[in-house]
């Protein structure tokens, strides 16, 4: 047993020198490595030869011992891993899934689009005469009514012109009056034969000339009065004024492109959006029948409905570059939730699918063969059922297929399923899901096809 003694002595010296070998030391103690080495030496012819080596061949003896240790350790490690894998296969459990009921409901069909808010009226306030801007009588962002005074322009020039034209009118009226008196005298003299009829005709023509002059003067007076009125700039509509574009003291002219301020009427207000031309007939047909199509407007996050309005106008032509047609919806905007040029998400209700088979949208799976769901069988297995999607409304989807109300379908845990797979139902989640399986009323959907 010289070989066995040498191996044991070598291992003891190696353990004392290397702290990391403690793991191997424990393995050696637990697996009774000494017994394995002894049996191997008694049954292996290579070990018998090594047993007869003398003590002077200790180096060769240590190499053989190390090789035997590696072989035995690999065999035991492989056997241990194989056992663990076999145990894992035996202990494999069916996947845990969450299911939901198939329902029959009325599902609305919406057209969704991105809309732009437009004021019902928009006016750029400009001056109609040239002059110095003396006063600005509004606050930026202020709500004004039709006829409210917004600004004043220096009126002194136009006051002087008015005075001049009024004086000229008075003079010409006096001349006209004198010419008319002469005309009456000439009529009497012609009857007496004191003057010729030609003189009478000349005087009559002169009266008509003075009448024309008086009318011209009256026009100049009226124009001067109108210019004075233009010096007091008033709002032509009710609405909200924007930022002031010109400060008092500036000389304003009719040719100024920007104007003084912009007034927008935002109560009510319009939202303009576009729909595909393929859906136009569905909208026109319902408007022709006198139906008021509802339009819901949502914010950018699409989680809060701003207001509900009605479709009011359909454009008279289709945009050839996009294949869409513009629609305009009217909103009352009493709470001022809309502002001009604001972008909103809109939903146009065009139809309602009555008594439709409805499933949670999360249950719909997709494959090259089409959309499908996993239907729960009575034997706790699942079956693949092909379905056709009609429309989606929030967390619900209307479908057609081999499903009936109160059937159970899988909505969570589908990644490990296949046709005929065994499943385990999460009872706690099932109850929670049933108590919250109603869709949110304010959810925004995406739908590009109208079902008639």
Could you tell me the two tokens for 356?
């439709």
Superfamily of domain 111-117+265-347: Efflux pump adaptor protein, beta barrel domain (2.40.30.170)
Cβ atoms < 10 Å from Cβ of 104: 13
Strands 261-276 and 239-241: antiparallel
Nearest to 309, CA basis, from 293, 295, 298? 295
CATH architecture of 97-110+352-435: Beta Barrel (2.40)
Indicate where the chain has its CATH 2.40.50.100 domain(s): 123-252
The arithmetic mean of pLDDT across residues 409-423, rounded, is 89
Q: What does DSSP assign to residue 362? A: G
Contact status, residue 412 vs residue 98, Cβ threshold 8 Å: yes
Choice among 81-95, 163-177, 372-386, 402-416 with the minimum mean pLDDT: 81-95
Class of residue 391 by CB neighbours under 10 A (exposed 0-12, middle 13-18, buried 19+): buried
Contact status, residue 76 vs residue 33, Cβ threshold 8 Å: no
Q: Which residue has the tokens 């509900």?
A: 308
Could you tell me the two tokens for 235?
């709002």
Is residue 440 scored above 90 in pLDDT?
no
* Chain segment 321-354, per-residue pLDDT in tens: 999 999 999 999 988 899 999 999 999 998 888 8
Query: How long a stretch of residues is the chain?
Result: 452
Is residue 72 scored above 70 in pLDDT?
no
Q: What is the helix (H) or strand (E) element at residue 107, kind and residue range?
A: strand 103-125
50-59 core/surface letters (b: 16 or more CB in 10 A; e: else): bbeeeeeeee
Radius of gyration of the chain (CA): 50
Could you tell me the two tokens for 313?
């106008």
Could you tell me the two tokens for 426?
């999460």
Helices (H) and strands (E) in the chain, counts: 9, 19
Indicate where the chain has its CATH 2.40.420.20 domain(s): 97-110+352-435
Is residue 307 scored above 90 in pLDDT?
yes
Dihedral over Cα of 352, 358, 361, 367: its sign = negative
Contact status, residue 338 vs residue 271, Cβ threshold 8 Å: yes
Contact status, residue 343 vs residue 299, Cβ threshold 8 Å: no
Q: What is the helix (H) or strand (E) element at residue 201, kind and residue range?
A: helix 197-230
Indicate where the chain has its CATH 2.40.30.170 domain(s): 111-117+265-347
- Rounded to whole angstroms, the maximal C-alpha distance in the chain is 183
Class of the domain covering 123-252: mainly beta
* Chain segment 13-63, per-residue pLDDT in tens: 655 555 444 444 454 444 454 455 455 444 444 444 444 444 445 555 566
The arithmetic mean of pLDDT across residues 89-114, rounded, is 84
């Amino acid at each position: 047993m010289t070989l066995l003694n040498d191996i044991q002595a070598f291992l003891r010296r190696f353990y004392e020198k290397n702290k990391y070998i403690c793991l191997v030391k424990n393995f050696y103690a637990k697996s009774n490595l000494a017994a394995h080495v002894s049996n191997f030496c008694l049954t292996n012819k290579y070990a018998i030869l090594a047993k007869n080596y003398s003590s002077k061949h200790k180096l060769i003896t240590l190499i053989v011992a190390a090789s035997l240790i590696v072989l035995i350790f690999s065999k035991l490690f492989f056997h241990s891993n194989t056992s663990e894998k076999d145990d894992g296969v035996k202990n494999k459990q069916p996947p845990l899934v969450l299911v939901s009921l198939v329902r029959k409901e009325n599902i609305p069909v919406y057209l969704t689009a991105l809309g732009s808010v437009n004021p019902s009226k928009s006016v750029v306030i400009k001056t109609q005469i040239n002059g110095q801007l003396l006063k600005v009588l509004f606050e930026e962002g202020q709500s004004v009514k039709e006829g409210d005074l917004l600004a004043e322009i220096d009126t002194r020039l136009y006051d002087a012109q008015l005075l001049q034209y009024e004086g000229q009118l008075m003079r010409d009226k006096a001349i006209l009056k004198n010419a008319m008196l002469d005309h009456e005298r000439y009529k009497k003299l012609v009857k007496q034969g004191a003057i010729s009829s030609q003189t009478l005709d000349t005087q009559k023509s002169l009266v008509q000339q003075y009448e024309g002059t008086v009318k011209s003067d009256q026009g100049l007076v009226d124009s001067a009065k109108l210019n004075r009125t233009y010096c007091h700039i008033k709002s032509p509509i009710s609405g909200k004024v924007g930022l002031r574009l010109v400060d008092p003291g500036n000389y304003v002219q009719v040719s100024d492109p920007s104007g003084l301020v912009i007034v927008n009427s935002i109560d009510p207000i319009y939202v303009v959006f576009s729909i595909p031309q393929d859906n136009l007939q569905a909208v026109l047909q319902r408007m022709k029948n006198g139906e008021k199509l509802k339009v819901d407007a949502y914010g950018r996050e699409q989680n809060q409905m701003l207001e509900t309005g009605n479709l009011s106008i359909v454009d008279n032509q289709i945009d050839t570059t996009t294949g869409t047609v513009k629609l305009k919806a009217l909103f009352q905007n009493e709470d001022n939730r809309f502002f001009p040029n604001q972008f909103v998400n809109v939903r146009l209700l065009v139809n309602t699918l009555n008594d439709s088979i409805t499933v949670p949208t999360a249950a719909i799976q997709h494959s090259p063969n089409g959309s499908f769901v996993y239907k729960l069988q009575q034997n706790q297995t699942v079956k693949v059922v092909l379905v056709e999607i009609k429309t989606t409304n929030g967390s619900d989807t209307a479908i057609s297929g081999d499903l009936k109300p109160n059937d159970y379908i899988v909505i969570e845990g589908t990644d490990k399923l296949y046709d005929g797979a065994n499943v385990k139902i999460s009872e706690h989640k099932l109850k929670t899901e049933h108590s919250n399986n109603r869709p949110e009323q304010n959810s925004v959907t995406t739908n590009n096809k109208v079902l008639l």
